[in-house]
Amino acid sequence: MVSSSPPAPKEVPSDDKWAEDGPPREAKWWYSTFHTVTAMVGAGVLSLPYAMAYLGWGPGTVVMILSWCITLNTMWQMIQLHECDLGKHVFGPKLGAWIVLPQQLIVQVGCDIVYMVTGGKCLQKFMEIACTNCTRIRQSYWICIFGSVHFFLSQLPNFNSVSGVSLAAAIMSLSYSTIAWVGCVGKGRVPNVSYAYKTTSPTDYMFRVFNALGQVSFAYAGHAVVLEIQATIPSTPEKPSRVPMWKGAVWAYFVNALCYFPVAFIGYWAFGQDVDDNVLVGLERPSWLIAAANLMVVVHVIGSYQVYAMPVFDLMEQKMVKTWNFPPGVLLRFIVRTSYVAFTLFLGVTFPFFGDLLGFFGGFGFAPTTYILPSILWLKIKKPRRFSTSWLINWVSPKNVSVSSPFSSASKMLE
C-alpha cells in the first residue's frame, strides 16, 4: 500500500530554450521495447553459464529468477517516477546531481568503452573464422575499424533517429542468444559432465562466487538509460508516458527472459563445471554458425553503443550551450560527438582489458542504478506505510545486492 502523501513528481515541460529545441517526443511504445533490449541484453549473456558453474543449479536458478523479478520492479518504479531531474527532486539540486549523475556516467561511458573492445574482438573472430587464409592483423586495428562506424552513426541527432539501428541490435541479441542455446542442445551434454562445484581454494572460490553474482547483476544494466528512453515518448496528463513505456518494458523483459534463461540453464546443462566464460567457444562447430553469431554480436554492440552514448551526447551539448554559450547546431554536434567517439576509441585501443576494470567501477555504477537507487527514490517520494509489502520489498532488495557488488568487483581485479 502506498500513501497518498506526498504526491509523485509530475512531468512538467521546461521553458528552457534548449529543452524547447530538443527532439520531438514522437516515439511509440515498441520503441522502448527494442531500445531497452538493446541496452540490457549484451554479449555478457554468453557468460551466464559460466556464472552458473560457480553458483550451482539451486542457487544459480534462484539468483537468475530473483534478479529478473527485482529489476523488473525497479524499472517499473523508475517509469512511474519519471521526471527530467528526478535525483535533484529527491536529494536536492546539488546533492542529487552528485549522487545520480556520476553513477549514470560510469555505466554509460564505461559500457561504450567496453563495446569498442567487444566489437573489435568479435569482428576479428568473425574474419578469422570466415577467412582462414587472410593475413592476421592486430586486435587494436579491428577495434579501430569497429570504432570508425560510430564517427558516422554518432551524428544521428537523437534516440528517434537511431531506432532502426537499435531494432537491428535487439534482433541480433535475440538471434545470437538463440544460436548459443540451440547449439548447446544440438551438441548435447559433454562426456562425463559434472555439475559439482569447482575445486579451488576457499578464498578464490568465494571471490569467484561473488564474481558470478556480479555477472548476473550486471546483465541487467539497462536502467541507466530508461529515463532517457521514456523521454522520447509523448506525455500528457490524459495519456502519461509511463503507460506505453511500461508496456514496452514488459515486452523487453519477455525478450530478456528468452535470451538469458535458456542460455544460462542449457549452457550449464551441456558443459557443467567445464563451461567456458563464453559458451560459444565450447561449441566450435559448425564454424559458419559461430562466425554468424560473432557478426551478430558486432551488430548488436553497434546499436548498444549508440543507445548508451545518446544521453552522454545530450549532456555534453547542453553543457556547451548553457555554460560556454556555444550555438546549438550541426557544428556543435560534430565537435562534441566526434570527440566522444575518439575518446572511447582511444581508451578501448589503449586498454583492451578495460572490461576487467569495469567490474571494479561497475560495482559503484551498475548495481546502484539497477537495484538500489530506484528503491531509495521510491521510498523517498511515495513513502509507503512501514512494514507494508511495498516498504519491505524496497528495503530488502537493495540489501541483497549491495553485499555482492564490492566483492564481485574485487574478484574481477583478481582474475
Q: What is the pLDDT of residue 258?
A: 92
User: What is the predicted pLDDT for the residue at 341?
Assistant: 95
User: Which DSSP helix (H) or strand (E) runs through 378?
Assistant: helix 373-382
Rounded Cα gap, residues 229 and 138, in angstroms: 37
| Among candidate residues 66, 39, 41, the one with its CA nearest the CA of residue 55 | 66
Residues 6+ apart with CB under 8 A from 18: 318, 321, 322, 328
**Residue partners of 393: CB distance under 8 A and separation at least 6:** 73, 375
Residue with cell 553485499: 403
User: What is 19-81 written as a DSSP string?
Assistant: HHTS------HHHHHHHHHHHH--GGGGGHHHHHHHH-HHHHHHHHHHHHHHHHHHHHHHHHT
pLDDT computed for residue 360 by the predictor: 54
CB 165 within 8 A of CB 306: yes
Neighbours of 150 (CB within 10 A): 24
The confidence score (pLDDT) of residue 88 equals: 59
252 alpha-carbon distance from chain centroid? 13
Please report the pLDDT score of residue 264 as a whole number. Answer: 93
368, 336, 308: which is closest to 116 by C-alpha?
Answer: 308
Q: What letter represents residue 123's amino acid?
A: L
Q: Please give the biggest Cα pair distance in the chain.
A: 69
Is the Cβ–Cβ distance between 9 and 180 less than 8 Å?
no
pLDDT number for residue 31: 82
Amino acid at 101: L
pTM: 0.76
pLDDT averaged over 10-residue windows placed end to end, the chain, 415 residues: 40 42 68 84 81 89 89 83 60 64 78 87 87 85 93 86 84 89 87 81 77 75 75 80 88 92 93 82 76 89 89 88 86 93 93 62 59 69 70 62 40 34
From residue 350, alpha-carbon distances to 75, 105, 117, 143, 144 in Å are: 35, 20, 10, 10, 11
Tally of CA atoms within 13 A in the half-sphere of 160 that contains its CB: 12
Contacts of 177 (CB under 8 A, 6+ apart): 41, 45, 46, 258, 259, 260, 262, 263
H-type helices in 131-162, by residue range? 139-153
Concatenating the DSSP letter of every residue in 157-222 gives -SGGGGHHHHHHHHHHHHHHHHHHHHHHHHH-PPTT---SPPP--HHHHHHHHHHHHHHHHHT--G
pLDDT, position 8: 45
